[in-house]
């Protein structure tokens, strides 16, 4: 098995019918077979658009670019279920881009093989499988309710830039749709949310993420004459000790305590008899709803200034906030999804804010958002896979949710 796993010739474009789309597996396989490693789409959005148009969706491609970044294609699709347009609009958000293949695969990562009831391929879990499940759920609802009036609408917001810089994807789509007055009342993100089994967990929020680079600048010198130099290492160690000395908080109602994790300490010094002129540390903070990025940046700078005070040299602190924390308080949206999960799996999912960041951090600006998808045990790993039974189970959970949502549940 080669590490690349890319097909020389993309699979043929498929024609979809509403009947065929009630089964999530063919669409999941067709999406996986498009090697859409960020930022390359390789026809994945074409496959999805054809499927959605077969179900009556109006589809709109939304390509974006920015200086210094690769252009990215995105897809927005909308299906109005009632002529009045008065009911709530549910948005399903996800991404067709995938992380690079990496090494260690025993299957072709883009062949979408099904072996012993398991679907293998890059994106099977994260998150082409969930996209296929949601489309299949819509097809089932349309088939079951063809003679009944439904309320509201369904939208899909699909990016090709979730696994990359995330500058030409969901955040740009959200800003554009908001500026155009597009109404989205609630959102489900199909990220793989379950640690062990389908139905374990629904994400109702996410911690914020802050990356910091702390550079302490001294004066280089000979190790035999330390009084003639200014060694930045002890000062850096003192700053890190002060930053790590006390917890940032003790958690909140829906979040664990915030964490500061050192990721690198380096002086770039190959010599044993030279005092370096600078020392650099990097760290990441995952923070809860008791903080925001600006407040944490001010706190970090204040601590470092306290250590630096009265000493020679200086320090630089660069802080980048990749996402603020947010919480969608438990209520109608999560209640409906919990009910659907219990009805299909018999499990009552935990409502959690654990894990890293996702594109939900952008969507929260325009609609209450929660996350629920497949089991994440093989996410970003070699031989990424999902049980076909889980793909079917997720489809039924989405179907159950959609039936309730589109039958006049008060939003």
What secondary structure letter does DSSP report for 383? T
Is 162 an active-site residue? Answer: yes
Catalytic option among 41, 73, 108, 162: 162
Q: How confident is the model at residue 385 (pLDDT cuts 50, 70, 90)?
A: very high
Catalytic option among 73, 97, 108, 185: 97
- The tokens for 360 are 């939900």
Please state the residue numbers annotated as binding site. 95, 126, 163, 191, 380
Question: Would you say 92 and 188 are in contact if contact means Cβ atoms under 8 Å apart?
Answer: yes
Q: Convert the pLDDT of each residue in 16-44 to its tens digit.
A: 999 999 999 999 999 999 999 999 999 99
DSSP three-state, residue 373:
coil
DSSP three-state, residue 304:
helix
State the sign of the Cα–Cα–Cα–Cα dihedral 104, 107, 110, 114.
negative
Question: Would you say 185 and 89 are in contact if contact means Cβ atoms under 8 Å apart?
Answer: yes
pLDDT at residue 150, rounded to an integer: 80
Residues in the chain: 411
Q: How confident is the model at residue 147 (pLDDT cuts 50, 70, 90)?
A: low
State the sign of the Cα–Cα–Cα–Cα dihedral 388, 389, 393, 395.
positive
How many other β-carbons are positioned within 10 Å of the β-carbon of residue 338?
20
Task: Tell me: pLDDT of 3 over 60.
Answer: no
Residue range 20-206+325-405, CATH number? 3.40.630.10
Residues 6+ apart with CB under 8 A from 302: none
Q: How far apart are the first and last CA of the chain?
A: 50
More confident residue, 241 or 84: 241
> Helix %, strand %, coil % for the chain, to 5?
30, 25, 45
pTM, whole model, 2 decimals? 0.90
Question: What's the fold here for domain 208-323?
Answer: Alpha-Beta Plaits (3.30.70)
Q: What's the angle, vertex CA 392, arms to CA 391 and CA 398, rounded to 5?
A: 90
Which of 9-18, 34-43, 341-350 is the least confident region?
Answer: 9-18
Q: How confident is the model at residue 258 (pLDDT cuts 50, 70, 90)?
A: very high
Q: How confident is the model at residue 110 (pLDDT cuts 50, 70, 90)?
A: very high
* Distance separating alpha carbons of residues 376 and 390, to the nearest angstrom: 12
pLDDT at residue 411, rounded to an integer: 36
Residues 6+ apart with CB under 8 A from 327: 204, 205, 254, 255, 289, 353
Q: How confident is the model at residue 7 (pLDDT cuts 50, 70, 90)?
A: low
Is 3 an active-site residue? Answer: no
Give which of 31, 5, 147, 30 is closest to 97, Cα–Cα. 31
Q: Convert the pLDDT of each residue in 260-312 to its tens digit.
A: 999 999 999 999 999 999 999 999 999 999 999 999 999 999 999 999 999 99
- 404 burial (CB, 10 Å; 0-12 / 13-18 / 19+) is middle
pLDDT at residue 335, rounded to an integer: 97
Task: Tell me: pLDDT of 6 over 60.
Answer: no
* Distance separating alpha carbons of residues 333 and 347, to the nearest angstrom: 17
Please state the residue numbers annotated as binding site for Zn(2+). 95, 126, 163, 191, 380
Which of 82-96, 326-340, 345-359 is the least confident region?
Answer: 82-96
405 CB-side CA count, 13 A: 31
Element (H, E) at 241: helix 232-245
Domain ranges of the chain: 20-206+325-405, 208-323
pLDDT at residue 9, rounded to an integer: 61
Across the range 160-180, mean pLDDT stands at 96
| Pairing of β 58-61 and β 75-80 | antiparallel
Across the range 238-260, mean pLDDT stands at 96
* Distance separating alpha carbons of residues 35 and 32, to the nearest angstrom: 7
């Amino acid at each position: 098995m080669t590490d690349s796993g890319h097909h020389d010739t993309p699979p043929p474009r498929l024609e979809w019918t509403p009947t065929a789309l009630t089964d999530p597996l063919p669409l999941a396989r067709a999406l996986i077979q498009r090697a859409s490693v960020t930022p390359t789409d390789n026809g994945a959005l074409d496959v999805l658009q054809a499927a959605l148009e077969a179900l009556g969706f109006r589809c709109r491609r939304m390509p974006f670019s920015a200086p210094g970044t690769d252009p990215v294609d995105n897809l927005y699709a909308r299906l109005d279920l009632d002529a009045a347009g008065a009911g709530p609009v549910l948005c399903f958000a996800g991404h067709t881009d995938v992380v690079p293949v990496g090494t260690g695969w025993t299957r072709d990562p883009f062949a979408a093989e099904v072996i012993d009831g398991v679907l293998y391929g890059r994106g099977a879990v994260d998150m082409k499988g969930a996209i296929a499940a949601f489309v299949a759920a819509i097809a089932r609802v349309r088939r079951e309710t063809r003679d009944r009036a439904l309320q509201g609408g369904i939208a899909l917001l699909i990016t090709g830039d979730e696994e990359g810089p995330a500058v030409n994807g969901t955040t740009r789509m959200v800003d554009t749709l908001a500026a155009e007055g597009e109404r989205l009342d609630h959102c489900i993100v199909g990220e793989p949310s379950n640690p062990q089994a389908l139905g374990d967990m629904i994400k109702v929020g996410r911690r914020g993420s802050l990356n910091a680079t702390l550079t302490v600048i001294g004066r280089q010198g000979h190790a035999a004459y330390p009084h003639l130099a200014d060694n930045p290492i002890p000062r850096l160690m003192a700053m890190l000790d002060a930053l790590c000395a006390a917890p940032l908080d003790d958690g909140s109602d829906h979040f664990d305590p915030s964490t500061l994790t050192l990721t690198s300490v380096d002086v770039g010094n190959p010599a044993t008899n030279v005092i370096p002129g600078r020392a650099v540390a990097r760290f990441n903070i995952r923070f809860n709803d008791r903080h925001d990025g600006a407040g944490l940046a001010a706190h970090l700078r204040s601590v470092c200034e306290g250590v630096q005070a009265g000493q020679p040299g200086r320090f630089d602190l660069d802080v980048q906030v990749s996402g603020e924390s947010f919480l969608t308080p438990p209520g109608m949206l999560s209640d409906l999804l919990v009910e659907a999960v219990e009805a299909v799996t018999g499990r009552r999912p935990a409502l959690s804010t654990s894990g890293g960041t996702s594109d939900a951090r952008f969507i929260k600006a325009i609609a209450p958002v929660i996350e629920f998808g497949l089991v994440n045990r093989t996410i970003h790993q070699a031989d990424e896979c999902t049980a076909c039974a889980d793909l079917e189970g997720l489809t039924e959970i989405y179907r159950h949710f959609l039936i309730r949502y589109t039958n006049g549940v008060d939003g």
